[in-house]
Amino acid sequence: MPDTEALTPRSLDSVRVRSVFLAMLKARQLETKLASLYKAGKIVGGVYLGKGQEAVSGALGAALDPNRDVFAPLIRDQAGRTAFGEPLIDCTRTYLGSVRGPMRGRDGNIHRGRPRERIIAMISHLGAEVSVVAGHLIASRLRGELEGRVGATCVGDGATSTGAFHEGINLAAVERLPLVILVANNQFAYSTPNTRQFACDRLMDRARGYGVEGHEVDGTDFLAAVEVVGGAVDRARAGHGPQMVVANLLRLTGHGEHDDARYIPDELRTGPLGRDCVAVAREQIVAAGYAAAAELDQWQADIEEEVQQAIAEAQRDPKPDPWKERWQALSDERGLFGGRSEAAEPTEPAESAP
Ligand SMILES: Cc1ncc(C[n+]2csc(CCOP(=O)(O)OP(=O)(O)O)c2C)c(N)n1
Ligand SMILES: [Mg+2]
């Protein structure tokens, strides 16, 4: 069963490298602002961030083709969402409860999606999306539309211990589906460390048990992440069946912003896994000549402006009125709920609702 070595080394495409980093910067800036809004009491419900996981997430979103692939991002995948093409305003509108958001202001944080644009709204962070994407790929096969298409999702280390994960990956392996599962091994499932989650030596050993190709990468090493994740997507597309990528890293924040993560020991934080992939990426990009430092500074300034606008616009938007609007987030009277419509016309149509 091939490990990472099976991926042929290649020189990385400059457009890809730059697009991944751009998405990482956008995600980091957006999430920094969301954390401030949360602390200021401006967000109802929890805020869940992907700080420290942007390299692999962004690498996956950028490796997928938004015109044909299917992506089911989870709570730490703002970078992947952005790289795949989700506009930043989908995030701010969701967290700030705007009726113009993809979930019409009915979901307070992370379950947003754009089904018609193949961004699947998350059911659970704990592995359910593996089965959902596998099912989507089987449906594509039955419709004769699978050729050249890849489906991908991200999970955490903890999710790999759930029944949902097992069933999904096993089905994908048996059906030899073009499914890429990115496991962001941030060493903890909430506060439960890896030592209490699995007994195999390395998490990647699980891939072998399912009969799928596994790849391991240092998730703090930006260029390695772009190469290994991109290579896994290529292999899935080329017919090598499901691919599982285990990215070793640390989340550089709490499980959610309500969590101070004091259970993460200092030696982990100050060790190699505690490196900030955004800082590593910047250094690698400048050193390898993918972009000059001054250009990246300009990107940062532009992004700060873009994020500020996305927040201001979502704050100006109307909030949902349950007495006047349809209650379904992702459907209408012709839609997912089979013709049932119990409420009046919406006063403010959601811009991106299907
Ligand atoms: C079936 C189920 N059990 C528990 C939870 C609560 N929960 C949400 S995320 C999480 C930890 C997930 O850990 P991991 O898969 O490692 O992802 P990470 O949060 O580290 O990214 C838990 C216990 C849940 N949402 N669903
Ligand atoms: Mg985890």
Q: Quote the ligand 2 centre to 51 CA distance (angstroms).
A: 13
Identify the nearest ligand to the CA of 158 by its number.
Answer: 1
- Confidence at residue 33, expressed as pLDDT on a 0 to 100 scale: 98
Give the percent of the chain with pLDDT over 70.
Answer: 89
Contact 42, 261 (CB under 8 A): no
| pLDDT at residue 347 is higher than 60 | no
Q: What is the pLDDT of residues 141-164, one digit of tens each?
A: 999 999 999 999 999 999 999 999
Mean pLDDT of 275-298: 97
Residue 189 CA: nearest ligand 1 atom is 13
- Point out the least confidently predicted range of 83-87, 202-206, 324-328: 324-328
Give the per-residue pLDDT at 274. Answer: 98
Tell me the pLDDT band of 242, cut-offs 50, 70 and 90.
Answer: very high
The CATH class for the domain spanning 4-316 reads: alpha beta
Question: Among 36-50, 299-313, 334-348, which is the least confidently predicted range?
Answer: 334-348
Cross-strand bridge partners of residue 211: none
At residue 327, the pLDDT reads 61
Among protein residues, the one whose CA lies closest to atom 2 of ligand 1? 126
Q: Find out whether the beta carbon of 48 lies less than 6 Å from any atom of ligand 1.
A: no
Q: Could you report the per-residue pLDDT of 100-147, keeping only the tens digit for each?
A: 998 888 887 889 999 999 999 999 999 999 999 999 999 999 999 999
- Separation in Å, CA 173 to CA 39, 134, 170: 43, 10, 5
- Interval 297-306: pLDDT, tens: 999 999 999 9
Residue 328, pLDDT above cutoff 80: no
Percent of the chain with pLDDT over 90: 82
User: Which of 49, 110, 125 to mutate for ligand 1's pocket (most ligand atoms within 8 Å of CB)?
Assistant: 125
**Predicted local distance difference test score (pLDDT) of residue 344:** 36
Q: How far is the CA of 158 from the centre of ligand 2 (A)?
A: 5
For the chain, the domains span: 4-316
- How far apart are alpha carbons 9 and 227 in whole angstroms? 8
Tell me the pLDDT tens digit for each residue of 175-223: 999 999 999 999 999 999 999 999 998 999 999 999 999 999 999 999 9
Is the beta carbon of 101 within 6 A of some atom in ligand 1?
A: no
Question: For residue 192, with 0-12 CB atoms within 10 Å meaning exposed, 13-18 middle and 19 or more buried, which class applies?
Answer: middle
Best mutation site among 110, 190, 191 for ligand 1, i.e. most ligand atoms within 8 A of its Cβ? Answer: 190
As given in the structure block, the two tokens for residue 277 are 């992939």
Stretch 32-46: mean pLDDT, rounded?
96
Is the CB of 56 inside a 6 Å radius of any atom of ligand 1?
no
Backbone angles phi, psi at 188, to 5 degrees: -140, 145
CA distance 266 to 269: 5
Average per-residue pLDDT in the chain?
Answer: 90
